[in-house]
A and B are shown apart, each in its own frame.
Chain A
């Protein structure tokens, strides 16, 4: 079983709609979470990171983190066709192993 699980595998939302993506780690050592976005044919680029319980907002993007359940979610409001991409969640530990483990991704399609 993958250490970082993402759901759903794919998501279609209408332009202007809200997209919600989920990610959970099964490794209790992790405490840093990252969201990366990868447009088709390009390399992943970091979108947002979160290390503390609660919520963080940057423009149309909001991430939540619940450290007790090792669950993070990414919400995109007023989705645009340019948001269509593969969204990758990653987790790392602030001490111990230096690994950065990615999930299998959520493919988001925003329909005009």
Chain B
């Protein structure tokens, strides 16, 4: 079986700071996703990528950038952290229209 590794597990940033979250998968999946989950809520799609160097915006992309330089890695940048952005960011991967696997998440706190 494979694994999705997200780093860091916890990220504390200052308001206005640029912050980067990283994700690596060894499933050899083509598609990777970044979701944001506010406490007790559903998942909102920020960015997804269907192959290396591809980027597609989700409904929540404003305020974020993403990068997929290798098939196995997908990074997310918060361009200017805001206090109302405290959430868990989940990275996921899949082969299209098959089960999506999730990492354990990065918990972001903005002070």
Contact = CB atoms under 8 A, between A and B. Distances in A.
Interface of A: 6, 32, 34, 36, 43-46, 49, 86, 88, 90, 92, 94, 98-105, 107
Contacts of A34: 99-100
B31 interface: yes
Interface of B: 31, 33, 35, 40-45, 48, 50, 56, 58-59, 90, 94, 96-97, 99-100, 102-105
Interface residue SS majority, chain A: strand
B56 A98 contact: yes
A45 B67 CA distance: 25
Among the interface residues B31, B40, B43, B44, which one has the most CB atoms of the partner chain A within 10 A?
A: B43
A92 B40 CA distance: 23
